[in-house]
Amino acid sequence: YAAKRGKHGYEVWAPDGTPASRDRLETLEQLRAALDSEQLDNHYQPQLDLRTGAVVGVEALVRWNHPDRGLLYPGVFLPLAEQAGLMRRLALRVLERALRDLQIWRSAGHDLSVAVNLSVSNLQDVALPGQVEMLLDACKVPAGALVLEITEDVLMADAARSQQVMAGLRRLGVRLSVDDYGTGYSSLSYLRALPVDELKLDRSFVTHLTTDARAAAIVRSTLQLSRDLGMSMVVEGVEDADSLAALREWGCDVAQGYHISRPMPAERVLSWLTSRPVPAALKPGVRTGD
């Protein structure tokens, strides 16, 4: 790994005098250690039901509180974890933390689900369903309150194996969501075959919703498609009130984005839930589109 120049190569681990490979090696050692420490942390971003305005779930997003570099985002360290074969440990770690946090919020009376992202390599791991089952039991969370997000490129690996893993997860009662929908490959053919419950439309379509008629057309037709397939649709990347209002008018089920809330540390979630500002587009009596 140290000598390889990966997709997210050295621009991230900039060589500061020392050879880049040594930097990577050091960072990798730090990441291994972080996986056993409190440095690796979940932040959570709320998801709103657009019909009722209720918060129906949160998405867990991994963060690394690096002792020298500060808060690191997944785009910076996931490629390294992937190359070093650390994704199984990382996924189990994020999952356990997410289920433990969820159990606390559910016991406090909030009927939420939690969505956890999986990588391509996680979907190749036939041990995953059994491990998920154990964690659900240990954390006393019903399987239906867990959503696992996969991306379209799971099928670029070993499709038969990932379908086997997905079927195992589904048998537990866990829900599966296609993340970044519309940006991967063969997005239509697998919809016939794969057991998925939800489409999560990529934010590139959502962010330009009000200024780009083509983006709007894609959002609306995907919404129609998800309905016809009996799936729900989540939109991510809602950054302004106008987009939220339009999505609500079009009958979109669930939305997530900076306009609702940025991702936040676990300890802020309960207070956010009880004192959150209701987006203007969802206030009772406010009609959209006029």
The amino acid at residue 88 is: R
Spatial neighbors of 58 by CB under 8 A, at least 6 apart, are 44, 45, 46, 47, 102, 112, 113, 114, 115, 269
Answer yes or no whether residue 62 interacts with ligand C2E by CB under 6 A: yes
Residue whose pair of structure tokens reads 């969505």 in the numeric block: 115
Answer yes or no whether residue 118 interacts with ligand C2E by CB under 6 A: yes
Instruction: List Cα–Cα distances, 147 to 177, 271, 276, in angstroms.
Output: 7, 23, 23
Answer yes or no whether residue 47 interacts with Mg ion by CB under 5 A: no
**Cα–Cα distance for residue pair 174/169, rounded to 1 Å:** 6
Of the candidate spans 12-20, 23-31, 109-117, 140-148, the one that interacts with Mg ion by CB under 5 A turns out to be 109-117
Size of the site for Mg ion (CB under 5 A): 4
Of the candidate spans 47-55, 116-124, 162-170, 272-280, the one that interacts with ligand C2E by CB under 6 A turns out to be 116-124
- Which parts of 187-216 interact with ligand C2E (CB under 6 A)? 203
Task: Tell me the chain's radius of gyration from C-alpha atoms.
Answer: 19
Spatial neighbors of 227 by CB under 8 A, at least 6 apart, are 233
Site mask, Mg ion, residues 66-85, x = CB under 5 A?
Answer: --------------------
Site mask, ligand C2E, residues 244-273, x = CB under 6 A?
Answer: -------------xx----x----------
**Cα–Cα distance for residue pair 15/102, rounded to 1 Å:** 40
Closest distance between ligand C2E and the C-beta of residue 203, in Å? 6
Answer yes or no whether residue 239 interacts with ligand C2E by CB under 6 A: yes
Instruction: Tell me which residues touch Mg ion (CB under 5 A).
Output: 117, 149, 179-180
